[in-house]
Structure 1
Amino acid sequence: MEQPPISDYAFLSDARSGALVGKDGSVDWWCPSRFDGASVFGRLLDPSAGHFRLAPAGAGGPGHRVERAYRPDTLVLRTVHHTPQGSVAVTDALAAETGARAHQLGMNSPAVLVRVVEGLSGRVRMALDFAPRPEYGLLTPYLHEQPDGGVLAGAGPVVLVLRAGDLPLRPDRGRVTQEFEISAGQVLGMDVAFGETYGAPPVRLDPLTALDETTRAWEAYRQTHSYSGRYPELVRHSATVLTGLTYARSGAVAAALTTSLPEQIGGDRNYDYRFSWLRDFSLTMRALWVAACPDETSRLFAWAARSIGRIGDEPVPVLFGLEGERDLSEHQCTHLRGYRDSWPVRIGNDAWRQRQLDVPGEVTSAVWRLRDYLGATFEDELGEMVLGLTEQVAATWRLPDRGMWETRDEERHYLSSKVLCWLAMDHAVRLADRLGDRADPGRWAAVRDDIRDAVLREGWNDRIGAFTGAFGSSELDASALILPVAHFLPATDPRMRATIEMIARELGSDDGLVRRWTTDPGGFLLCSFWLVECLVIAGERKRATELFERVVGFANDVGLFSEQIDMDTGTQLGNTPQALSHVGLINAAWRLTEPDSY
């Protein structure tokens, strides 16, 4: 089974874990314990690492056509297969807890994958292929027929139970393959329930009822939110995707569902994104705020404050596990080929060890955004956190770091890191009256001004006529677009205006995509949306609108973005769905609505 294009995948979520299902009807990624748990279906990273395919027999042949869409305001996917013999719909979801509504979604997810087949016309022969391979494909389970006609798969710490109504299932050598016919008007529900070998057994649900309950839970969730700006359907859908990437128990937002999908096919920049980044924090908070998600905003902030803990001399990590875990040490799965032979496959992310000086600025930006909700005086852990971050910036801003793109070579004096240091000090000065007797706004203001002077002096390159990626460098970097977004410098400033135009010309394309740097293999979607924001701030709303509408056209057929887009072919690259890409869309749409906002 060849691995499909990344854009072929749709996203299912129960706000605990997520799954990817392709246009070919194959669930090729599911880590049922939680987003960053081990997969039981991992064909995404190796054809032999497990899948659950459900589609017409001979799908992909002449006369076979696929249409699919989410039920409105949900991550419940309906795929319609049109064949010469008739049409059939398969509706897929990760089940919500029975009775869950609105913000209860994901709190006690049963870890059940639901698939419902419905005959629409004619008589279609369907093929089921269930091949679970737990622990990222390391285990081939024993399969046992059950008295109720289901099949139990057990290996290592994992138990899975496949049920398919009255359809008889016969396991053979670690998989179940079965063909059956479905006529117009017939409905067949099936599910795969996850459990732990030494824990509670898998939950048993009625698939049709579970599908209805899950749809209602998502609809109720979205009904608690509103958005009144431009491109409301795009923003609402992106907000739904962010909800789907939120680990409900803690409020943390995973950067993406997947690990090791490559930035370049055959390349080795393949990283695990199933964690929550503080660098993304203020951008995500801003997007959730724009999309009118106050509960998610507050819970995400509380997660970050608890995860950071008491601040000492060591740099605050840029990322944490979904429940605040700090040690995310990286290892390679040598038994997996990688997506289309893009190796290595990495589990964990060693970026947690890096010094990244932009982190305090991201966190204090979030504090500033929530200041009116956090009280006139910041007490206990909140005050300690802001004071600790501020003093850490004051002591370390002159040091080099790895930068926001998490380079794994030498440290440099990255422009974006210095700008975020400036932002941290600026917010600290503005928040000083809430921080008690230990606040020192005079000294902080002096540090802030020193940082600003250094950025304007060292970050500008006279020879090329633009701000560059690092002090003393001649290399353009799209991260310079954050200067006006962070209110460091107006987009109308001649130096900033020149930088914006040079980035658009040298790093951009006619399609609106913007690379991070000249050798970047793909257009980085967040940077593309930053360019939209910069153009709006500079007063070029018409140009910004045209750019925005070209960039959003790179979403797949169900409105999902990965991290990057291949500049030559337009195909999606990198981990998917990517939170920052959807965050960028929301923030750019709101900037087009309210140019002077935030």
Structure 2
Amino acid sequence: MSTRPISDYAFLGDCRSAALVASDGSVDWLCFPRFDSPAFFARLLDDDAGHWSIRPTGPAEITRRYIEGTLVLETTFHTPGGTAVLVDALAFGRRERGHGIGASSPGVLLREATCVEGTVTLAVTYAPRPEFGLVRPLMEPVRGGLIARGGAHVLTLSIPADLETDGSTAHATVTLTAGQRFGLALHAGAAWETEPQCWNQRLIHRRIKDTIEGWRSWSRQHARYQGPWQNQVAHSGRVLRALTFAPTGAIVAAATTSLPEEAGGVRNWDYRYTWVRDASLTLQALDSAACEKEEAAFFGFLARAAATRLDHASDLQIMYGVGGERDLSERPLPHLTGWRGSAPVRVGNDAWRQRQLDVYGELLDAAHQLHSTTTHRQYDPITRTFLLGAAETAARRWQEPDQGIWEIRGPSRHFLHSKLMCWVALDRAIALAPALGATDRVGGWERIRAQIRTAILTQGWNPDAGAFTQAFGDPHLDASALTIPMVGFLPGDDPRVQATVNAIATNLTDARGLVRRYTTADGLPGGEGTFLLCAFWLAHALALTGQAARAERVFQTAVSHANDVGLLAEEVDTDTGEPIGNFPQAFSHIGLINAACAIRDRQDARFDAGPQP
């Protein structure tokens, strides 16, 4: 059983795939060549599912950081005999820079240890287990390294040391003195392709430096944000970029599968896909982080992947694979015990079958955001037809029940957030009508938008709760109501908005100051922790209601739950305060960026208005 805290991991990305590295130098998660590929190392989910560690043979004091402006990890081991620095990176293509990083990433994990003081002896343990641990490969020493064969892939490990093999595990011990370097590289290729050559030390060192400069060049081009928490916003922008599948522009919700919402529970989902639900919030965050090309690429992916003829019998799918795949059928991996016994471990996600009416609003809001930041943007005929179909479907179906933003696996209901986003769909379609060639439809859209508004104000507001609630006729609160002022449905100074924000702050906030999504039954056993996105939403909404000081406190509480290298999980365990859920979570970093911008804007407005009474 894997028991290591989720917060102990750092994230590596090459804009195609992901690796997680523990603080002691163990790579416990690696998927090549895509985020959603089967893992070669999956000790994150089971101790026997593969890892690759480089660590001192004796006791060591460990510190780590990302090299400035990058997602290249630097881990320092202070031992009684000396100090060594381990640098880890997923390689970019040769001399990829700026917006082009990840365009031709070779699928190589680079590791280089340097002794900077005294003498340090390092132990290397290499235990590849392709297909989430199902394959125990055969190993063959070759000049400059080791070949591992089994299943659909061949793994080539470049290492300048002799390895001893024990079954499907290899070991080496290397002693370095001050000034000596020791570089390793791991390449995964298809079993039927020509086996790659081992990399020499000079090439490994050069490609690490090249990857560092690739990240730094991207960061220099995306340094527009000025304001509070500037470093966290910039870092979150890099995390979002690393969670982007460069060939298509898709952004995955997280780098992992089946890290649970409750330790030992069954709420274990595969997040290595792209949700339409995240679209408008993602584009807002990308815009704030000065990622204009990433905005266009992400919307382009959504428009291509989601394109379908929408009629009375069809719905817009809520999520897609990073290549645009639609069938994401879920299946368990029973041979894996799961993180802290959280089973089943799943690949795929059956939420793709659900109906969620909010996706029409998120899609059209994303189109509107991109249109407003791109001068004279013209839609191609297929995209125009598709967006028109999305607006018409929202207009036709807004009165139907669905599963809601949180993908409730129970009966369909009339969720307030779904109605709100149907209102957004028509509101943004009306604004986009000239670009869509649909000015003749504006009158009908305006009438239905008004009907939705009336329904939300009369049926979504619950007098007993004194707030907008989770669903029509339901007294229970839901943090998604915090988005009402964010999407422009009501202003922040509206008394109903302020009452809703205060009710959520009072009733959905735990002792740590973090926010639950809801407290109602959702059709699944067990429970979950507080949801970091919702804490950032609360900070965002407090800023919009003019409560800047409270907004800053909530924001600071949420961001304090990042780990030592600034990464945020999906949730926080209400009992222990430990990060839980898939990691790193795009939604959490998106919420950080958007809330920081809202608080900054409120601070600027307060300053511009002069001293307050």
Scaled by the length of structure 1, what TM-score is found?
A: 0.96
Whole-angstrom CA distance in 1 between matches of 2:557 and 2:455: 36
Whole-angstrom CA distance in 1 between matches of 2:6 and 2:103: 29
Contact 2:355–2:402 (Cα < 8 Å) also in 1: yes
Deviations 1:533-572 (A, max 9, x none): 1111111111111221121111000000010111232210
Aligned residue identity for 1:197: A
2:87 equivalent among 91, 110, 113: 91
Q: Which runs of 5+ in 1 are unaligned?
A: none
Note the C-alpha offset of 1:45.
Answer: 0.8
Whole-angstrom CA distance in 2 between matches of 1:252 and 1:439: 33
Q: SS of 1:130's equivalent?
A: strand
1:180 equivalent among 174, 177, 182: 174
- State the match for 2:609 in structure 1: none
Note the C-alpha offset of 1:574.
Answer: 0.2
Deviations 1:304-324 (A, max 9, x none): 111111332311111111111
- 1:348 equivalent in alignment to 2:366: no
Note the C-alpha offset of 1:407.
Answer: 1.1
Whole-angstrom CA distance in 1 between matches of 2:112 and 2:351: 41
Whole-angstrom CA distance in 2 between matches of 1:302 and 1:576: 25
Count of residues paired in the alignment: 592
Deviations 1:19-40 (A, max 9, x none): 0000121100001111000100
Contact 1:281–1:363 (Cα < 8 Å) also in 2: yes
Deviations 1:471-493 (A, max 9, x none): 11122111111111111122322
Note the C-alpha offset of 1:431.
Answer: 1.8
Q: SS of 1:280's equivalent?
A: helix
Whole-angstrom CA distance in 1 between matches of 2:285 and 2:309: 27
Whole-angstrom CA distance in 2 between matches of 1:539 and 1:24: 45
Contact 2:70–2:215 (Cα < 8 Å) also in 1: yes
Note the C-alpha offset of 1:269.
Answer: 0.6
Contact 1:151–1:171 (Cα < 8 Å) also in 2: no
Superposition map of 1:53-68 within 5 A: 53-59=53-59, 64-68=60-64
Contact 1:21–1:28 (Cα < 8 Å) also in 2: yes
- State the match for 2:187 in structure 1: 193
Deviations 1:377-424 (A, max 9, x none): 544022112210011111111111111111111111111111000010
1:235 equivalent among 221, 233, 257: 233
Note the C-alpha offset of 1:436.
Answer: 1.9
Q: Percent identity?
A: 45
Q: SS of 1:82's equivalent?
A: strand
- State the match for 1:359 in structure 2: 359
2:270 equivalent among 263, 268, 272: 272
Aligned residue identity for 1:325: E
Deviations 1:99-118 (A, max 9, x none): 21112211111111111011
Whole-angstrom CA distance in 2 between matches of 1:225 and 1:245: 16
- State the match for 1:138 in structure 2: 134
Note the C-alpha offset of 1:374.
Answer: 6.5
Deviations 1:206-238 (A, max 9, x none): 211111111011111111122223221111000
- 1:117 equivalent in alignment to 2:118: no
Contact 1:276–1:321 (Cα < 8 Å) also in 2: yes
Whole-angstrom CA distance in 2 between matches of 1:203 and 1:589: 47
2:220 equivalent among 210, 218, 223: 223
- State the match for 1:542 in structure 2: 549
Contact 1:26–1:53 (Cα < 8 Å) also in 2: yes
- 1:420 equivalent in alignment to 2:416: no
Q: SS of 2:386's equivalent?
A: helix
Whole-angstrom CA distance in 1 between matches of 2:491 and 2:99: 39
Note the C-alpha offset of 1:502.
Answer: 1.3
Aligned residue identity for 1:156: G
Residues 127-136 or 543-552, more deviating = 543-552
Contact 1:12–1:77 (Cα < 8 Å) also in 2: yes
- 1:209 equivalent in alignment to 2:206: yes
Deviations 1:48-101 (A, max 9, x none): 110001111145xxxx32100001111100001112222211110011111211
Whole-angstrom CA distance in 1 between matches of 2:310 and 2:76: 55
Aligned residue identity for 1:334: P
Q: SS of 2:255's equivalent?
A: coil
Structure 1 pair 404–597 and aligned structure 2 pair: CA distance change class (3 A): farther
Scaled by the length of structure 2, what TM-score is found?
A: 0.94
Deviations 1:459-515 (A, max 9, x none): 111112121111111221111111111111223222221111111111113533111
Note the C-alpha offset of 1:596.
Answer: 10
Residues 479-488 or 431-440, more deviating = 431-440
Aligned residue identity for 1:170: E
Q: CA RMSD in A?
A: 1.7
- State the match for 2:156 in structure 1: 161
Contact 2:548–2:603 (Cα < 8 Å) also in 1: no
Whole-angstrom CA distance in 2 between matches of 1:328 and 1:2: 26
Superposition map of 1:567-586 within 5 A: 567-586=574-593
Note the C-alpha offset of 1:299.
Answer: 0.7
